[in-house]
Structure formats: C-alpha cells, structure tokens
Chain A
Amino acid sequence: MSLKTKAVGASAPDKKTPLAARIFLGVVALYLLVPFLTTLVYSLFVEWTDVLPSGFTLRNYAELFTNSTFWFSIGRTLVLCLVSVAITIVLLLLAMYVVVAVNRRLGRFMQFVCMIPYALQGVILSIGIISLYTGTGTILSNRMFMLFGAYTILVLPYIYQGIRNALNAIDANMLIQAAEMLGCGRFRAYVQVVLPNIVSGILVSSLLAESIVFGDFVLANNIAGTNYQNIQVFLQANMARSSGLSSAIVVVIFLVVAAVTALVLKLQHTSQNK
C-alpha cells in the first residue's frame, strides 16, 4: 500500500530547469535589475568613475530625509493616492449596486466607460481635462479639483475590474435574492451581505491602483505641475540639480512601490490558496 501512495506522489515530479532556460532567464532578469541596482549603488557612494565606486556614504539619504520639500511631496502623493482611490471605490460600489440589484443592462455601459481610461492613459486624459476646465472661472477650474477628477478616472479600470471579479466570484445577485427572501431590503443586503464578502477583492485592486497613482508623473505634471508637486514631479525637478539626491529618491520610490507590489502578490497568493 505504501508503494501506491508513493507512486501517486511521483505523478507530479519536480521539473528540472534546462541550462538554456537558466541562462536566458538569468540574463533577462539581470538586464531588468541592472538599472535599479546601478541607481542603488550610485546613491550610496560619493564617486563612480571607475569600475568600482568609491567612498561609501549615506549622505544622500540623510539629505533627502531632512529635506522638508521631500516630505511635503510624499505627503501630497499619499493624499492623492488615498483620496482618489477612496472616491473611486465609493463611486463604483454605489454604481455597482445599481447594476447588481436594479438593472443588469447598465453593466455593459459601465464596462465600456470604465475601460476607456485604460486605452487612453494619462496624456489624453490630462490635456482633455485642462482644455475643458482651464479658464472657466468656476470652482471646476481649480487645479486640485481637476487633479482629483483625473486620478479618479485613471484608476477606474483597475478598481472596476477588481470589484466586478469579486462580485462575480460570490454571485452577488444570488446573495441579494437570498437575503430578500429573508426579508432584508436590497440595499441593506448589498451593504451587509455582499460588501463584507468582496472586501479582499477590493483590497487587492485598490493596492494596485495606489501604486499606479504613486508612480504617476503625467497627470501631476500636466495638471498641477509645481503648484502641487507629487513625488515624481519632485524627482523630475531635482534630476538636473543633484544626481546623488535624485538617485536616493528613485530608490525610495522603488522600494515603496515594490513593497506594495509584494503585498498585492501575497494577498493574491493567499486568496488563491483558499
């Protein structure tokens, strides 16, 4: 009998990686890593004019972390990330209630308008908003209004897909009907039964959206520019001035985004294992 169980285990033998595959993947991975690693090393040394850099230092980081403009731009970026993603989530959850519980036919329309920003990306979006609202003299011509509006649209496709997949996965319509049978109103059923079940799905897509807002330069630069400098605009403004400081900014930006990505991957992994 023990023989049999062993044989079952052997049906999925661990594949060996061919040498050619190892070499090719290694070269590609190295190629992808080199620009960042170079920046990392550059940020930690005084000079790099020979094969090896010389003069290890944390000066660039000390300078960066004592720079109040840096902290302000980080703060602004976080505000942009959190507020715009939160707005989009609320808008989509409300709209999705209508699709799920009132009129399913709106789903098509929603999918269409939510995927447009994915196809258009930042440049078109930002200049369209500038062209429409600049100089109208209303509150809408306020740069902050434009910026939050633009970010809300930018992250729309990602959060929409996350919410839609989560709703499909739990069969929200069926849950609402079941709750209705038990005498619960539709909206209450949506809030109390459906939403708690899609929180993890929303979480993953929102984190993804956060990292997109965090990495955005186009919208911030085109719409707000120096009026409301986010971290990417701050980096761009410093690039010509001090490459040491800039390399430290690049490292910080990358580490933040990498941490968020790692968290997303971890969450996806655990939800898959479930």
Chain B
Amino acid sequence: MADISQAGAALAADAAASGAGRTAAHASAEEARPPRGRKWVGYIAFLPFLLVIVGYELLPLAQLVLDSLIGKESGAFGLENFIKVFTTPLYQQSIINSVWISLVSAVVGIVVSFLAARFAYESSERVRNAFTMVLNMMSNFSGVPLAFAFMILMGNSGVLTILGEQWGIPFLADFDLYTGEGLLVLYIYFQIPLATLLLLPAFSGIKKSWREAAIILQASPLDYWFRIVIPNLMPSILGTLSVLFSNALAAYATAFAVVMNNYALLPLQITSKFKGDVQIDAATGGALAVVLIILMVVCTLINNYFTKRASKGREII
C-alpha cells in the first residue's frame, strides 16, 4: 500500500513538474525534481541495512517466538512450553530469582545513586567532575572482570574473607559470593554508576529559584525536598528504575562468571538450553526467552512513558 501511494505521489509530482516546464520551458526544472525512475535508486541505499536488520534482529526474534510456540513433546502449535515453564520448579525459581535480584538491586541502586546525585549536584564543579569521572570509568567495570574482582575480594579465599576470619568479622568471613545474595552484591555494584549517571542530568533541572521561592513561602527543608524536589524528579527516578531493572534482568556475564549454570536465573537457564553440555532444548529455551522478552518490553514501555513525561515537562520548564 505504501509503495503504491508513493508511486502515486511521484506521478503527481511529475505531472506538476511537466506542467511547470511547459510554461517556464526550463530543463533545470526537471533536474531539480528527480524523475520517478531515479527516486527508486535512492531506496537501494536502504537495502543493506534492511537485510542485516531482518537477518540478525527481526528473524532471530521471530525464531525464538516460533521455538516457544511449538510444543516440545507434542510438536503442536500452542502454549504447551509456557505451561511447562510456569509449572516446573526450576524455571519458576529462575523467574522469581531474576525478578527478585533485579528489583532489589534496582531499588538499592536508585536509593544510593539518588543520594550520590544529590550530593554531587550540591558540590563544587571540581568535586562533581571528579566524581563523574569515577562513575564513567567504573561503569565500564562489569561482566567477567567485575566478577573476578569480587572473587578476589570476597570469594572463598578472597582478601576480605581472610581478613574477616583473622579479625573475627563474621559478615566478611562467612560471606558466600556464590549464592543469590552474593550475586545481589555484584548487581548493586554495577547499578550504582549507571543509575547516578542517569540521575545527574535530572538534578540540573531543579531550579535554584524553586528553593528560594520555597524558603520565602516559609517551607521547611523537608517540605522543600518532599513536596517539590522529589515529585519533580519522580519521572526520572521511575524511568531510571526501569532501566536498572531491565539491565539486571538481562545481565549474563557477571552471573555466569560467578556461578556458571549452577543457579536458577533466567538468562543462565535460557542460554543453557541453546548451548552447553546437555542437548539443545529450543522449545523450553524459547519459552523462557519470550518470558524474559516480555519482562523487558514492559520495562521499556514503562521507561518510555516516564521519559516522555519528563521531557514534556522539561520542554516548558
């Protein structure tokens, strides 16, 4: 349909050009408006992009959805795999663990980074720049290197673990990195720089005159923070929260490096179905992948909703 209307528009344009040409009788008029044939040439440049997008983004996604809908046992088209996923304890646990770790790490991350962004915003430019530099650098410290660093620090014979034993600090001595709680500590670590970098620009939207107006109107600092600053930052806070949540949900390298496949976590379970020592199980893997995709899409939609609201406000403020 789009193609036809496109051609129609080109035809109409040509007719108009030739009409003008008759009166003006200028060859340059035809040059300025490329003829119909040339217009199609323009679209050729779009083809390579389209091919790669279809071949490596859209079709793979479609393949996963297809995998998820073809029953593992029956081979029939339907929701069989999803029923299996939601009734098998291991997969149930994977979904619960993934959501739980993502949620807690996102909330802790947002609280810490809200305070960090607030203090950075109140600091001198020199301090703020130095802090932002650390954030930018350490936001790259993730995945396998991060997992390794934490193993050195808090693993079975980690530096802090040994010191904890020597000094009798049970929290450090008994800390087990290779569990859900261990992963949580790691996840919180990589959320903080990301969240602070996302929240910092929002703070610069807080106008100095709001504070002054509030003071003159006899508001206490608490009133100012809870009635003005936080409500105004809410869209950014919730938007950042959803970015953090989906960031943790999809994280693979960090978890894999620490616990391999020995923990019920959605990305680990999905990957193990397509790769690894056991037989490939695309049906279950596909269903788990679709569950992850749905969680991520919901997150993205929430984020879009909030960033739109935030930018709407910012346009006019």
Complex A–B touching at CB under 8 A:
yes
Q: Using a CB–CB distance below 8 Å, which chain A residues touch chain B?
A: 14-18, 20-22, 24-25, 28-29, 31-36, 38-39, 42, 48-51, 87, 90-92, 94-95, 97-98, 101-103, 106, 110, 113, 116-117, 119-132, 140, 149-150, 152-153, 156, 180, 186-187, 211, 215-218, 221-222, 225, 232, 235-236, 239, 243, 246-247, 249-250, 253-254, 257-258, 261-262, 265
Taking a contact as CB atoms under 8 Å apart, the answer to whether B275 and A222 are in contact is yes
Instruction: Looking at the assembled complex, report how far the CB atom of A51 sits from the nearest CB atom of chain B, in whole angstroms.
Output: 7
Q: Contact between A120 and B257 (Cβ–Cβ < 8 Å)? A: no
B168 at the interface (CB under 8 A from A): no
Flag if A250 contacts B61 (CB, 8 Å).
no
Q: Cβ of A236 and Cβ of B67 under 8 Å apart?
A: no
Question: Which of A15, A20, A187, A235 is close to B145, meaning CB atoms less than 8 Å apart?
Answer: A235
Does B223 sit within 8 A of A, measured CB to CB?
Answer: no
Contact with A along B126-160 (1 / 0, CB 8 A): 01000101111110111111101111110000010
Instruction: Give the residue of B115, B189, B250 whose beta carbon is less than 8 angstroms from that of A121.
Output: B250
Size of the chain B interface, CB-CB below 8 angstroms: 83
Query: Is B123 a contact partner of A21 (Cβ separation < 8 A)?
Result: yes
Indicate if the CB atoms of B152 and A113 lie closer than 8 Å: no
Checking A91, A119, A153 against B300 with a beta-carbon cut-off of 8 angstroms, the contacting residue is A119
Instruction: Determine if B123 and A25 form an interchain contact, defined as CB atoms under 8 angstroms apart.
Output: yes
- Chosen A-B contacts, 8 in total, with CB atoms closer than 8 Å, are A20-B119, A25-B123, A50-B166, A123-B271, A126-B271, A152-B52, A153-B57, A243-B148
Shortest Cβ gap from A65 to chain B (Å): 18
Binary per-residue interface labels of chain B (197-226) against chain A in the complex, 1 for a CB within 8 Å, 0 otherwise: 000000000000000000000000000000
**What are the 10 A-B residue pairs with the smallest beta carbon separation, nearest first?**
A128-B60, A95-B49, A102-B42, A35-B149, A21-B119, A217-B253, A149-B56, A121-B250, A132-B63, A94-B45
B235 interface residue (CB < 8 Å to A): no
- List residues of B (82-135) whose CB comes within 8 Å of A's CBs: 112, 115-116, 119-120, 122-125, 127, 131, 133-135
Q: A125 CA to B292 CA in the complex, in Å?
A: 12
In the assembled complex, the Cα of A199 lies from the Cα of B99 at a distance in Å of 41
Contacts of A216 in B (CB 8 A): 143
Minimal Cβ-Cβ distance residue in B for A148: B56
Q: A253–B137 contact, CB under 8 A?
A: no
Contacts A15-B124, A32-B192, A128-B63 hold; do A149 and B289 have CB atoms under 8 A apart? no
B293 within 8 A of partner (CB): yes
A127-B285, A130-B275 given; 18 more Cβ-contact pairs under 8 Å: A21-B119, A21-B122, A31-B192, A35-B149, A91-B48, A94-B46, A94-B49, A120-B250, A120-B293, A123-B289, A124-B64, A129-B56, A131-B285, A180-B32, A222-B275, A239-B151, A249-B145, A265-B133
Residue contact B123 to A91, C-beta cutoff 8 Å: no
- Contact in complex: A32, B193 (CB < 8 Å): yes
| B140 pairs with A211, CB closer than 8 A | yes
Residues A239 and B257 in contact, CB atoms below 8 Å apart: yes
List, in ascending order, chain B residues with CB within 8 A of A236's CB: 144, 256-257
Residue of B55, B122, B296 touching A17 (CB-CB under 8 A) = B122
Cβ of A29 and Cβ of B131 under 8 Å apart? yes
Q: Judge whether B127 and A21 touch: CB under 8 Å.
A: yes
Structural contact, A39 and B286, CB atoms closer than 8 A: no
Residues of A within 8 A of B193 (CB): 32
Contact B42 A49 (CB under 8 A): no
Given contacts A180-B32, A261-B140, whether A127 and B45 have CB atoms under 8 Å apart is: no
- A residues near B148, Cβ cutoff 8 Å: 39, 235, 239, 243, 246-247, 250
Interface residue ranges, B against A (CB under 8 Å): 6, 32, 34, 39, 42-43, 45-46, 48-50, 52-53, 55-61, 63-64, 67, 112, 115-116, 119-120, 122-125, 127, 131, 133-138, 140-146, 148-153, 159, 162-163, 166, 189, 192-193, 196, 246, 250, 252-253, 256-257, 267, 270-271, 273-275, 282, 285-286, 289, 292-293, 296-297, 299-300
Asked if A124 and B57 make an inter-chain contact with CB atoms under 8 angstroms apart, the answer reads no
**B188 → A minimal CB distance (Å):** 10
Q: Is the CB of B116 within 8 A of A92?
A: no
Min CB gap A60→B, angstroms:
13
User: Which of chain A's residues have a CB closer than 8 A to the CB of B55?
Assistant: 140, 149
CB distance from A131 to the nearest CB of B (A): 5
Q: How far is the CA of A142 from the CA of B144 in the complex (A)?
A: 26
A15-B123, A20-B119, A217-B253 known; A129+B52 contact, CB < 8 A: no
| Residues of the A chain whose Cβ atoms lie less than 8 Å from the Cβ of B39 | 102
Residues of chain B contacted by A51 (CB below 8 angstroms): 163
Q: Nearest residue in B to A113 (C-beta to C-beta)?
A: B53
Residues of B within 8 A of A128 (CB): 60-61, 63-64, 289
Chain B residues positioned under 8 Å from A98 (CB to CB): 42-43, 45-46
Question: Once the chains bind, are B250 and A123 in contact (CB under 8 Å)?
Answer: yes
Please give, as numbers and ranges, the residues of chain B lying within 8 Å of A32 by CB-CB distance.
134-135, 138, 141, 189, 192-193
Asked if B116 and A127 make an inter-chain contact with CB atoms under 8 angstroms apart, the answer reads: no
The smallest C-beta distance from B298 to any residue of chain A, in angstroms, reads 10
Asked if residues A24 and B257 are in contact (CB atoms below 8 Å), the reply is no
Once the chains bind, are B57 and A29 in contact (CB under 8 Å)?
no
Given known contacts A132-B60, A236-B257, A250 and B127 CB-to-CB distance under 8 angstroms: no
**A44 to nearest B CB, angstroms?**
13
Closest Cβ neighbor of B63 among chain A residues: A132
A236 to chain B, nearest CB (A): 5
Q: Are B152's CB and A186's CB within 8 A?
A: no
Q: Which of A29, A35, A149, A232 contacts B153 (CB 8 A)?
A: A35
